[in-house]
Amino acid sequence: MEQFRLPKIQMPRLELPHAIQDILKEAEDKLAHRPKLLQLFKNCFPNTLETTTKLMEDGTTFVITGDIPAMWLRDSVEQMMHFVPFAKHDPDLQRILSGVIKRHISYIHIDPYANAFNESANDWHWNTDDQTEMSPWVWERKFELDSICFSMRLAYHYWQETERTDIFDSSFKSAMRKIVDLWKTEQYHFEQSPYRFTRDNGIPTDSLRNNGLGMPVNYTGMIWSGFRPSDDACDFHYNIPANMFAVVTLRQMQEMAEWVFRDISFVQEMKQLELDIDHGIQLYGTYRHPELGLIYAYETDGFGNHCLMDDAGTPGLLSIPYLGYTTADDPIYLNTRSFALSKHNPFYYEGKLAKGIGSPHTPPSYIWHMSLSMQGLTALNTDEKLEMIAMLEATDAETGFMHEGFHADDPLIFTRKWFAWSNSLFAQLVYQTMKAGLL
């Protein structure tokens, strides 16, 4: 067993599109009274474009996560989402975003089960001995339900913002077909799925039990997922936030199929799949907490077992309204939010300098900057948004950037110095709050 040795990464520095330069100038005026926050925003808002993005000769865009030389479907979308609202009148930004979408579509055709891909068919892999059907294009083949949801998320919002339809070619439609077929298969994982994954590296959360099949599940209508957005294996393989995301994605895909491709039978097929998944979420994915009332579980197996936790990654329970499944004032979501932001959640930590949600992916007492940003983005009141921004501002370890996890007692102890998704989510929170006149 051998893990890939990460090369020194240096991406070409892009000239920032005019729309992004304008946002940075706007911030210089509106955040002048908060010099540290202004500098953090100026560092983090363009970070993806300045350090992780490469325009390819074929018209696509390759985006690494930061310190890993691979393109995660999930990360690359969330690294770019805060740019979408400014794309309508900026051709350079349209070229970048549409290029990401086109590259995602090509990757889905290569392997819809994979979560991360290479720039070329260079046969680089995170682990060279993974037991699964690898391709030289695939960096990692952990099936995470949320991954291709993110691909459709970017395409949908890009279309809604710019009204451009040039991304919607025959390859895009056939990728939608692949997604629906895969999800239908994974509703019956043990009966129909060809997917297996094991990794013999001594880390239990890196591998699926039961000879790569995962733990047993009951049919629920939901979609089976091998791994969480953290890249850790699921305990119970119906991940509720990811299935909620799939419901939202199917609604968006229905709009694209109806208004762009004019395929009503495909719309009806996706509608039925959406209803099956949502019925499963409501029937199997809730739990009556003795103190908080009805909440959403993080995972279930359909046999009555639930995993009660939340993870800092998106999709998670905290991010349910961010993804559009329900509103931030929904009663079950508010109960769930109270659970996630309390000691009832085994990955919620309170320390001397910070409190928030971490992850089993990082050590105990490590809070993730992304979870603080998401808490601010989904907060209903201004005080909580401002509290999150202040906490983020105070825990950058004087690096000028956001990280993955940091110790709740000492932000100087942290993981991942270069993590572009975290920078982007922070920038999104600051911009929205600034635009609302709250800073």
Q: Could you report the per-residue pLDDT of 83-136, keeping only the tens digit for each?
A: 999 999 999 999 999 999 999 999 999 999 999 999 999 999 999 889 999 999
240 with 147: CB under 8 angstroms? no
Cα(first)–Cα(last) distance of the chain, in Å? 51
39 with 400: CB under 8 angstroms? yes
* pTM recorded for the entire structure: 0.96
- Helix, strand, coil percentages for the chain (3-state, nearest 5): 45, 10, 45
Q: Where do the H-state alpha helices sit in 163-288?
A: 170-186, 189-192, 240-259, 264-284
What is the mean predicted confidence (pLDDT) over 132-158? 98
321 with 328: CB under 8 angstroms? yes
In this structure, which long-range contacts are made by residues 4-7, counting pairs with CB atoms below 8 Å and at least 24 apart in sequence?
4/124, 4/125, 4/126, 4/127, 4/128, 6/67, 6/68, 6/69, 7/69
Q: Could you report the per-residue pLDDT of 49-91, keeping only the tens digit for each?
A: 999 999 999 999 999 998 889 999 999 999 999 999 999 999 9
Q: For the chain, what is the mean pLDDT? A: 96
Q: Could you report the per-residue pLDDT of 341-380, keeping only the tens digit for each?
A: 999 999 999 999 999 999 999 999 999 999 999 999 999 9
pLDDT band per the 50, 70, 90 thresholds, residue 2 = very low
- Cα(336)–Cα(345) distance, rounded to whole angstroms? 10
128 with 141: CB under 8 angstroms? no
pLDDT band per the 50, 70, 90 thresholds, residue 7 = low
Q: How many residues would you count in the chain?
A: 439
49 with 16: CB under 8 angstroms? yes
Of 115, 47, 107, nearest to 80 by C-alpha is 47
- Cα(287)–Cα(293) distance, rounded to whole angstroms? 8
Domain 18-435, CATH among 1.10.357.10, 1.50.10.10, 1.20.1250.20, 3.40.50.2020: 1.50.10.10
- Cα(312)–Cα(322) distance, rounded to whole angstroms? 13
Q: Where do the H-state alpha helices sit in 360-419?
A: 369-377, 382-394
